[in-house]
């Protein structure tokens, strides 16, 4: 059991290397331009004017939430000192499926912030009523507000061939002050990893949202090193050997310069040193921890997926794996047709193409797949192209292990034929 002469932990302030800890401004590295832009866009709030809407875009873990969070926090404080009420209404759209749920989530967030009743049921009433409740709460409690919509591109909605839910939400929120539904000043900040996000927005939403862009590029190893150096005091003095920070930064730089990954690995290495009772973090703990992260990530992720997401992933991996073409990237229309074939074979529910793309794109946010938008040339429309970062065959095996996909896995040759005929059809169109 607990032992008195156990080695002391390598941490003195482990919170500092937790991903969701809000850090002080002096610990922020390499985001001067973005900070400057966001500050200048939001400054009008302090002078009683309406700030512009914003689109913060860039890969995962590049500081979008951090920067908007740090600036809005300062504005809250400055407004408070002047007796003004500035509301920051922040939601993450990733787990939300429909417009109605998104509006309810906004109501819930405001109600919690101002300590009021939610005042509207989650189901059984129209979205319009939820909007009305949202506006009422805002009008009663704030003089100005900013909506922060994180991972906005994942709020697709249910129906296919229709305006996506994020487009409708952006339209409503960004015009709410023009229509006087919200009496105070309103601005909307949308955060996304998708650089081409605006291309799918409906024309009227585009013109009412009309954002100022702030781009967040990847960090390089030097910046990641500095980010970690600035959190070195999470650890006991002298408990890090000199090679730890450069190695963590180098690993994270390899995986797309994501600061969240760097911080997770830093913490993981410390945890391992504690677990082994070594009293010091060394290169060995970093390497071992990185290996565990790599192994766990895809396994855990696949285990946690719903059946529909597993089928979507399986179909996409099948295209990458069985394609006779030299490039094993997967055009989304082909992945979707294979998904449809599989769901027919299994007699399972079938999602729309938009939902299929949303599911697969979600996996891209975990780094299992990378996705990019492609054009089919004049008048041909857009589609997504998916590429696996790891081995698609291993991924398929892992999915079959715990789903009802076995009947499909037993028809390997047939699946191979379906994949290649779908690919041929797509490329000949």
Quick check: helix, strand or coil at residue 66? helix
Host H or E run for residue 370: strand 369-375
What distance in Å separates the CA atoms of residue 248 and residue 230, rounded to the nearest whole number? Answer: 14
Quick check: helix, strand or coil at residue 386? strand
Most distant CA atoms of the chain, gap in Å: 72
- The binding site for ATP consists of 62-66, 219, 231
Which letter does DSSP use for residue 11 in this model? B
Q: Do the Cβ atoms of 76 and 88 come closer than 8 Å?
A: yes
Closest to 391 in 3D by CA, of 399, 381, 383: 399
What distance in Å separates the CA atoms of residue 35 and residue 66, rounded to the nearest whole number? Answer: 10
- Minimum Å gap between C-beta 82 and ligand ATP is 28
Complex with ligand ATP: residue 30 or 52, whichever CB lies closer: 30
Complex with ligand ATP: residue 150 or 200, whichever CB lies closer: 150
Complex with ligand ATP: residue 19 or 48, whichever CB lies closer: 19
- The binding site consists of 62-66, 219, 231
Residue count of the chain, please give it.
429
- Minimum Å gap between C-beta 361 and ligand ATP is 13
- Minimum Å gap between C-beta 186 and ligand ATP is 22
Complex with ligand ATP: residue 290 or 343, whichever CB lies closer: 290
282 Cα distance to chain centroid: 31
- Minimum Å gap between C-beta 58 and ligand ATP is 6
- Minimum Å gap between C-beta 327 and ligand ATP is 27
Positions that interact with ligand ATP (CB under 6 A): 19, 23, 27-31, 60-66, 150, 193, 216, 227, 259-260, 263
Which letter does DSSP use for residue 81 in this model? H
State the residue number with the nearest CB to ligand ATP.
Answer: 63
Complex with ligand ATP: residue 94 or 159, whichever CB lies closer: 94
- Minimum Å gap between C-beta 261 and ligand ATP is 9
- Minimum Å gap between C-beta 218 and ligand ATP is 10
Host H or E run for residue 190: strand 185-192
Complex with ligand ATP: residue 68 or 99, whichever CB lies closer: 68
What distance in Å separates the CA atoms of residue 93 and residue 149, rounded to the nearest whole number? Answer: 7
Closest to 119 in 3D by CA, of 103, 108, 109, 128: 108
Host H or E run for residue 331: strand 330-331
Complex with ligand ATP: residue 31 or 130, whichever CB lies closer: 31
CB atoms within 10 A of CB 406: 10
């Amino acid at each position: 059991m607990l032992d008195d002469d156990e080695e002391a932990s390598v941490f003195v302030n482990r919170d500092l290397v937790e991903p969701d800890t809000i850090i002080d401004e002096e610990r922020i590295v390499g985001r001067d331009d973005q900070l400057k832009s966001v500050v200048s866009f939001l400054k009008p709030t302090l002078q009683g004017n309406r700030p512009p809407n914003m689109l913060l875009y860039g890969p995962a873990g590049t500081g979008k939430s951090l920067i908007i969070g740090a600036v809005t926090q300062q504005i809250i404080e400055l407004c408070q000192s002047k007796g003004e009420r500035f509301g920051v209404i922040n939601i993450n759209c990733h787990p939300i499926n429909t417009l109605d749920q998104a509006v309810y989530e906004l109501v819930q967030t405001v109600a919690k912030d101002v300590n009021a009743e939610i005042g509207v049921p989650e189901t059984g009433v129209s979205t319009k009523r939820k909007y009305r409740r949202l506006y009422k709460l805002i009008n009663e409690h704030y003089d100005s507000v900013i909506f922060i919509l994180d991972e906005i591109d994942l709020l697709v909605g249910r129906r296919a061939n229709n305006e996506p839910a994020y487009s409708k939400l952006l339209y409503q929120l960004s015009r709410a002050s023009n229509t006087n539904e919200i009496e105070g000043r309103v601005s909307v900040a949308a955060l996304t990893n998708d650089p081409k996000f605006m291309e799918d927005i409906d024309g009227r939403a585009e013109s009412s949202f009309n954002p100022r862009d702030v781009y967040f590029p990847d960090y390089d190893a030097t910046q990641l090193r500095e980010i970690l150096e600035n959190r070195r005091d999470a650890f006991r003095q002298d408990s890090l050997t000199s090679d730890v920070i450069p190695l963590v930064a180098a690993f994270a730089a390899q995986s797309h310069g994501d600061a969240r990954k760097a911080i997770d690995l830093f913490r993981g290495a410390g945890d391992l040193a504690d677990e082994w009772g070594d009293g010091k973090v060394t290169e060995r703990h970093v390497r071992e921890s990185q290996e565990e992260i790599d192994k766990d990530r895809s396994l855990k992720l696949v285990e946690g997926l719903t059946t529909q997401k597993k089928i979507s992933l399986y179909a996409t991996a099948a295209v990458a794996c069985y394609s006779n073409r030299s490039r094993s990237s997967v055009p989304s229309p082909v992945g979707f047709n294979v998904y449809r074939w599989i769901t027919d074979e299994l007699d399972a529910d079938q999602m729309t193409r938009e939902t299929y793309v949303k599911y697969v794109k979600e996996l891209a946010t975990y780094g299992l797949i990378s996705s990019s938008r492609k054009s089919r040339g004049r008048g041909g429309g857009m589609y997504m192209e998916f590429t696996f970062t790891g081995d698609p065959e291993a991924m398929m095996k892992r999915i079959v292990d715990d789903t009802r996909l076995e009947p499909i896995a037993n028809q390997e040759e047939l699946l191979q034929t379906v994949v290649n005929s779908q690919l041929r059809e797509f490329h000949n169109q």
